[in-house]
């Protein structure tokens, strides 16, 4: 088992999980009509997603350099977690426009 892959996977899960929590906090602020706080949470979520993406990029760079990467179920879970959270943030941005225009 490649310990580096596990560390990267858990780093992706950590940061995307934090981002998901921030997106849900943004939804709460949107429902309350506090769009300034919602925007702040969405920016913070994006910063966490960038950290997760940075970890993912490191793994891809290693692969591009010819390093053999043994894919593990935890990495598949991490990738799913990251992509789902990125999509949730995109939906939140669109929903904020809807909340503001109601």
Residues with a known catalytic role: 77
Q: Collapsing DSSP states into helix, strand and coil, what is residue 5?
A: helix
């Amino acid at each position: 088992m490649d310990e580096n892959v596990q560390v990267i996977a858990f780093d992706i899960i950590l940061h995307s999980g934090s981002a998901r929590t921030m997106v849900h906090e943004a939804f709460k602020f949107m429902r309350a009509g506090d769009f300034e706080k919602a925007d702040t949470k969405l920016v913070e979520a994006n910063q966490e997603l960038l950290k997760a993406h940075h970890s993912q990029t490191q793994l891809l760079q290693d692969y591009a350099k010819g390093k053999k990467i043994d894919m593990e179920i935890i990495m598949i879970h991490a990738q799913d977690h990251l992509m789902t959270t990125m999509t949730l943030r995109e939906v939140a941005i669109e929903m904020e426009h809807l909340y503001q225009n109601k």
